[in-house]
C-alpha cells in the first residue's frame, strides 16, 4: 500500500516523526532523534537506522499561499548540555542539514515490537522527507535549544539560479566529472587538432562536438537554447 492510500483511510494509523541532523559536512556525525520509544521502551528503528529517544520537536513545515518558503523551528532538549557543547565545537551547526522523516507506526521495522514481529513492516512506505538547513540558532538556555531552519533556496547568500545561465561558454572544468572526456582526440583553444600537451578545450559547443561527436549526447555545461537577452 502507498502512503497516499493510507492517508485516505477513514481511520489512518498514528504518524511517527523522526529527525535526522546531518553534521558530517562540519566534520561531526549524523544525529538521529525521536521524541519517544518503541513498544519495547527502547530507541526506535526505521529503515535499519536507530533513532535515539531524545526530546525533540519541530513546527512550521506547512506551506503558505503567499509564496514564502516555510522557516520551521526545531527544538531539542539541552538539560544534559550535549548540544551546547556541540554548538561550541561546530559553529552553532549553521548550514547543517535537517531532515524530518515520517511514516505510520504500522510500517516500522519489526525490531520495534514485542517478539520482533510486525507483519505490516514496510521500509518503502513513508512521506517524502522534509529537508531544511539550520539558518541560525534562535534560542538557547539550560532547558532547550531552538534552531530556525530554511530551505536551501532561502539561505543567506544563496542566489538563483545556482549556476549562471550562459549561452555558449561551457562552465565545466575540462576532463572533470561533469565534463567526462577521456578520449584521445586533442584540440587547442581554437578547435585545431594538436598534440596532447597542447590540449585545451575552447569551451564552445563546437569544442564539445569535436571530442564527443556531432550526434552524441553532449555533457555541455552551457545553455545553448537561451537567447542573448
Q: What pLDDT digit, counting tens, does each position of 12-25 carry?
A: 678 999 999 999 98
Query: What mean pLDDT is predicted for residues 189-209?
Result: 93
Query: What mean pLDDT is predicted for residues 139-153?
Result: 91
How many domains, the chain?
A: 2
Please indicate, yes or no, whether residues 28 and 126 belong to a single structural domain of this protein. Answer: yes
Place of cell 587538432: 193
Please indicate, yes or no, whether residues 13 and 44 belong to a single structural domain of this protein. Answer: yes
Please indicate, yes or no, whether residues 24 and 70 belong to a single structural domain of this protein. Answer: yes
| Per-residue pLDDT, 161 | 57
Q: What pLDDT digit, counting tens, does each position of 109-134 carry?
A: 999 999 999 999 999 999 999 999 99
* Per-residue pLDDT band at 226 (split at 50, 70, 90): confident
User: pLDDT averaged over the chain?
Assistant: 88
Query: What mean pLDDT is predicted for residues 167-179?
Result: 89
Query: What mean pLDDT is predicted for residues 151-155?
Result: 72
Q: Among 77, 3, 1, which Cα is nearest to 33's?
A: 77
| Of residues 159 and 3, more confidently modeled | 3
For residue 53, pLDDT beyond 60? yes
| Per-residue pLDDT, 101 | 96
| Per-residue pLDDT, 166 | 81
Rg (Cα) of the chain, in Å, rounded? 25
Q: What share of the chain is helix, strand, coil (3-state, %, to 5)?
A: 15, 25, 60
CA dist 121 and 128 (Å) reads: 18
Of 101, 116, 150, the residue that ends a domain is: 150
Of 129, 150, 171, the residue that ends a domain is: 150
222 in a structural domain: no
For residue 228, pLDDT beyond 60? no
CA dist 221 and 150 (Å) reads: 29
CA dist 190 and 203 (Å) reads: 10
Please indicate, yes or no, whether residues 132 and 68 belong to a single structural domain of this protein. Answer: yes
Residue 206 is part of which domain span? 163-217
| Per-residue pLDDT, 201 | 94
Please indicate, yes or no, whether residues 176 and 106 belong to a single structural domain of this protein. Answer: no
Residue 82, burial from CB neighbour count under 10 angstroms (0-12, 13-18, 19+): middle
Place of cell 513492516: 121
Least confident of 59-68, 144-153, 164-173: 59-68
Query: What mean pLDDT is predicted for residues 73-97?
Result: 92
Amino acid at each position: 500500500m502507498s502512503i497516499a492510500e493510507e492517508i485516505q483511510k477513514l481511520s489512518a494509523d498514528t504518524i511517527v516523526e523522526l529527525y535526522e541532523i546531518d553534521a558530517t559536512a562540519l566534520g561531526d556525525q549524523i544525529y538521529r532523534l525521536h521524541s519517544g520509544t518503541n513498544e519495547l521502551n527502547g530507541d526506535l528503528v526505521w529503515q535499519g537506522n536507530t533513532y535515539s529517544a531524545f526530546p525533540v520537536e519541530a513546527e512550521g513545515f506547512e506551506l503558505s499561499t503567499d509564496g514564502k518558503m516555510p522557516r520551521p523551528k526545531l527544538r531539542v532538549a539541552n538539560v544534559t548540555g550535549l548540544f551546547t557543547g556541540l554548538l561550541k565545537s561546530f559553529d552553532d551547526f549553521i548550514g547543517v542539514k535537517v531532515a524530518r522523516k515520517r511514516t505510520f507506526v504500522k510500517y516500522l521495522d519489526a525490531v520495534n515490537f514485542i517478539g520482533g514481529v510486525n507483519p505490516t513492516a514496510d521500509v518503502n512506505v513513508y512521506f517524502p522527507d522534509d529537508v531544511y538547513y539550520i539558518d541560525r540558532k534562535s534560542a538557547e538556555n539550560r532547558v532547550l535549544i531552538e534552531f530556525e531552519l530554511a530551505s536551501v533556496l532561502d539561505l543567506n547568500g544563496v542566489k538563483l539560479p545556482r549556476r549562471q545561465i550562459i549561452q555558449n561558454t561551457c562552465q565545466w572544468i575540462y576532463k572533470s566529472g561533469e565534463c567526462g572526456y577521456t578520449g584521445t582526440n586533442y584540440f587547442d583553444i581554437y578547435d585545431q587538432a594538436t598534440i596532447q600537451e597542447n590540449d585545451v578545450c575552447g569551451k564552445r559547443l563546437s569544442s564539445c562536438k569535436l571530442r564527443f561527436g556531432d550526434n552524441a549526447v553532449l555533457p555541455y555545461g552551457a545553455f545553448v537554447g537561451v537567447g542573448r537577452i
